[in-house]
Amino acid sequence: MIKQPTAYQDLQDPQARPRYAGIASFFRAPPSQDLTDTDIGLIGVPFDGGVTNRSGARHGPRAVREQSTLLRRINAATRVQPFAAARVRDLGDCWIERPYDLITALSEIEAFYRIVTAAGIVPLSVGGDHSISLPILRAVAAMHGPVGMIHIDAHSDTGDDYLGSRFHHGAPFRRAAEENLIDPQRVIQIGIRGTTNDPDMWGFSQRSGMRVVSMDEFADLGWRAVAEEARRIAGTGKVYLTYDIDSLDPSQAPGTGTPEAGGIGVHEALRLLRSLQGLDLVGGDLVEVAPSFDVGTLTAFNGASILFEILCLLAEAFQQRTRDQRSPEAGGERA
């Protein structure tokens, strides 16, 4: 070690150090490739080969890492301390060796995540475009079976083939339902809006049993009622949380490829996420941050703040599962 704190022993903790110093890992968590000392793995997926319009989300992980260094240790609203509750590490990037071949790229992502989940690590990812959630869900479902899902997005992402491709960022959750990776009855989609070329754009979601909360309904009900609805639908089983930054209003998240006017405010989003405490979350992602369209670093910063809330939820859920495993009467040996 070249540099060892001498004046303040607190500074042994990377989260206690001056936030402007050091290499920009996610939340200044220790970078690691060691799968044996990690409970929650933060992973960048710099891939945007699935976008249907404006590209650039491949630069999302780096921008979110940089902005995430602004956050601190403790969630002042919920009092959760994720880095104390679990061993949180930045596992680096799931970068793609053959990015121009979409199906191969998705297979590469799946293979990476199968190693992560098989090691018992809870993955928290930053895209990349939303097509990355499909291969991540393949790995998650391989461990847990079909999961419930909280999906916050301006788009339902349950479209069908586009320009001859089964796979793109507008279709991951139709494919995930078809592949039995998610249980549509336990899926809620929140914030859906915008214009469409397909009058049946949300049809697959609704026919398969997903609950679609349009942006208008979200505005009418408010975050508190929608959070209650989300908890009811996701239930007590394993749940995945996927957050598309374009769910936010473009005034608060301009840096994304497919903006839609009239979205969720960032404070509403934080409250909504905090109200999901208690769900048995086994993974999450934040996708579609495209820094080249950003104004200042607004989108990446709001994205990092949302990512922190998801991290807090995952850390609490991890802690609860660990407790359950230790006390058989409280839930027993079921992993």
Applying CB under 5 A, among 91, 94, 96, 154 the residue interacting with Mn ion is 154
Q: How many residues bind Mn ion (CB under 5 A)?
A: 7
Applying CB under 5 A, among 130, 168, 174, 238 the residue interacting with Mn ion is 130
285 vs 176: CA distance, rounded Å: 15
Tokens 């461990």 belong to: 143
326 vs 322: CA distance, rounded Å: 6
Residue 285 within binding range of Mn ion, rule CB under 5 A: no
Applying CB under 5 A, among 90, 93, 108, 157 the residue interacting with Mn ion is 157
DSSP annotation of 10: G
x/- map, 70-109, Mn ion, by CB under 5 A:
----------------------------------------
Name residues whose C-beta falls within 8 Å of residue 170's C-beta, 6 or more positions apart in sequence: 52, 130, 155, 157, 159, 162
DSSP annotation of 248: B
Applying CB under 5 A, among 244, 249, 309, 316 the residue interacting with Mn ion is 244
Instruction: Indicate the angle between helix axes 102-118 and 133-144, nearest 10 degrees.
Output: 40
Nearer to Mn ion, 144 or 155 (CB): 155
Cβ 107 to Mn ion shortest distance, Å: 21
- Name the segment binding Mn ion (CB under 5 A); options: 57-65, 95-103, 155-163, 294-302: 155-163
Residue 249 within binding range of Mn ion, rule CB under 5 A: no
Amino acid symbol at 5: P
- Name the segment binding Mn ion (CB under 5 A); options: 4-12, 13-21, 43-51, 156-164: 156-164
Residue 321 within binding range of Mn ion, rule CB under 5 A: no
- Name the segment binding Mn ion (CB under 5 A); options: 15-23, 89-97, 130-138, 188-196: 130-138
- Name the segment binding Mn ion (CB under 5 A); options: 33-41, 183-191, 221-229, 243-251: 243-251
Tell me the DSSP string of 139-161. Answer: HHHHHHSSEEEEEE-SS------
Which of 215, 181, 180 shows the shortest CA–CA distance to 283?
A: 181
258 vs 157: CA distance, rounded Å: 12
- The site for Mn ion (CB under 5 A) is made up of 130, 153-155, 157, 244, 246
